[in-house]
Structure 1
Amino acid sequence: MLTTGLLVVIVLALVFDFTNGFHDAANAIAPAVSTRALSLRAALALAAVMNLIGALLGTGVAVTVAAGVISTPGPDDGLQVVIAAMVGAIVWNVTTWYFGLPSSSSHALIGGLVGAALASATSVRWDGVLEKVVLPMIISPLVGFGLGYLLMTTIMWLFRKANAHRVGRAMRRAQIASAASLALGHGLQDAQKSMGVIVLALVISGNQTGYHVPLWVILVCAVALAAGTYSGGMRIMRTLGRRIFHLTPPHGFAAELSASSVLYLTAFVFHAPISTTHVITSAVLGVGATHRRSAVRWAVAGDIVKGWVLTFPGSAGIAAAAYLLAGLATGHFGG
C-alpha cells in the first residue's frame, strides 16, 4: 500500500536522481566538450541516453545501498529516517553544485543514510560501510589516477612519431565512444543508489519482503537520472574540464576510458557504490601528471579533495538535523 511517507520517499529519491544527473553530467561530458569532440547539447543528449541504458543493466549496487549500509529501521519511524537521509543528500548536492564543486552524490547519499540512522538510534552496518564504501572510496580514485597515467603514457609512446594533427582528429572521434562508455558507467552506478533507497522504503513499509529491485523502480530512476543529466551542469563542467588541466583529445580519451573501466569493475564485480566524480577527476589528474608538474592546477585539485572529505560528514550532519527537526515538529523520535 502506498502511504504518504512512502510516496514522499519515492519523490525525494527521484529528485535526488535528477540532482545527481545535473550534478554529475559534467563527469561524463566535460572532457568531450572541452576538447570539442562534441558540442554541449550533443554531449548532454549522448550522456542522457547512455545513463538511461546503464541504469537498466544491473541492480547489485542497489541491493548494497538498501541492505548493506544501515539496519532496516522499524516501521514506526523508518520512513522518516529515509526521508531525512534523502534531504541530507539533496541539500548537499545542490550546495556543491552552486559552488561548482565536483563532490560525490554517491557519498552524499551514504552519508545521509548514516547520519539519519545515528540520529534515530538505528544501527549502522559499519563493516558494510567500511568494505563497500570507505575502502572503494579510497582505492577507486587511486586506480583511476594510475590507469589514466599509464594509458596516457602508452598513447604518447605509440603515437610519438605520428602527425599530431591527425592523432588529435582521430582521438576526437574516439572520444565520442569513450564519453559514451563513461556515461554508461555513470548510469550503471548512480541510478542504482536511489533504487536502493526506494527498495529500503518498500521493505520498511511492508510492501515487499526481500531486497530485489522491481522493474518500475528501475525505470523511474533511470528516467529521472537521464532527465537530470540532459539538464546539464555547467558550473561543475568548467571545473572538471578546464580548471584542473587543459585537456586535449588524447587526454580526454585516456581519462574517460580509464574512469569507465573502474566504474564497470566495481559495479559488476564488487557491487560497491563508488563515486563517478572521484574516479573521473582522478583520471584527469593522472593524464595531466604525464606532463610537467606545473601543467596541473594542484591547488584546484586540493580544493576538490577537501570537498570529497567534507561530503560524508556534511551530508550526514544535514540528514541528522533533518531527522531531529522532523521529530520536534511531530513530537515523535525513534529510539
Structure 2
Amino acid sequence: MNRFSYTRAKSVADAVRLHAVTPNAEFLAGGTNLVDLMRENVMRPAAIIDITRLPLREIEATQYGALRIGALVSNSTLAWDTRVIERYPLLAAALLAGACAQIRNAATVGGNLLQRTRCLYFYDPATSCNKRVPGTGCAALDGVNRMHAIFGASEDCIATHPSDMCVALAALDASLHVAGRRGIRTLPFDDLHRLPGHTPHRETTLADEELITAIEVPSEGYAQHFSYLKLRDRQSYAFALVSVALGVRVEKGAIRALGCALGGVAHKPWRDRDAETLLIGRAADDISAIERYADGVVAHADPRPGNEFKVDLARRAIVRAFERALAPDSAPLAGRDPGEQPA
C-alpha cells in the first residue's frame, strides 16, 4: 500500500471542495472495495477523503411516494428496512444475495454503486489491463474469460460490473442525487455507468469531484411479482455468472409494466428496454412470448470462447425469473426473509 494523506470531510460541500482541489483523491465510506484495492496496489490514491461522518444515513419517503436512500446507509440496513421489504422486495433480495453479512454491515449503498470489477487481471498488477493502466492491453480477451462480459464489451475491456444491488436498481428505474462543484443534480440510474469503449478506466459519467448523496427509487416497486435470480459457481460469497432482476405489474391477467435487468454479463447492469415493450399487454401466462423476449435479449450477445455458455444461461435465467415472479404462490416479502423466494 502506498503512502497517502487523510482528511475527514465536515459537510457534503466540504467533501466536494476537498476532492476538487486535491489531486488523485478518493472518497472513503465503508472501504470494503477501496481498501482491498489499495492493499493490492491496484489503486494508489494520494489522498483519502473520509465522508463517513456526513449526514447521509436517512431512508425517507418523498412527497411523490418514492423512497430516498442516503448514500451512507449500509447494505444491511437497507435490506432489512421494513419499507424496502414491503414495497421493494426485489431490492432487498438483491442486497442479501451479495457478499456476506459482515461485508453488508460495513458496505454503503453509495459505495456499492461505484465498486470496481472483480476481473482477475484487473486485480493482478503483473498482467496487462486497460482499466488499471490505460493503453497496456486486455489480458482477458484471450485469457481466462469465463466470468466476463457478453454484452457491450470492446477490444479494450471485457470486464463485468459486480454489484447485485445495481441490477435491481436498474430494473426499478432508480435515480441518483449527485453533488458537485456546480451544485446538485439528478441522474437517471441508466446514465451512471459507462460501457468500456476505448476508455475502460472511466467507469462512470461522474465528474472526478462529484459525490453521490442519495438513491431514489420510484413508487412502482413491483412488490407483488418480482424475482432476483443469481446463478453462480457456489451458493454464497460468489459473484454472478448471470443474474436477473425482474419486476412485473400484472392487471387483469396481462403484463402492464415491467423492468428486467441482467447482471454478470456487461460493464453495467444490462437492460433491453426495446425488447420489454414487446411484452406489454401480453398475457402473464404467455410463456412463448416470454421466451421470444429472452431470445431477443440474448440475440445481441457477443461472447468470447470462454464464456459462450453465458448466452444460453442468460436466456434460460430470464425465462426462469419470469416463472418465479408470476407463479401463483408469489407474494410480498412482509413477514419472511427477503432472501427467500418461491423455488
Task: Give the TM-score normalised by the residue count of structure 1.
Answer: 0.25
Instruction: Judging by fraction of residues, say which structure has more strand.
Output: 2
Larger relative contact order (CA 8 Å, sep ≥ 6): 1
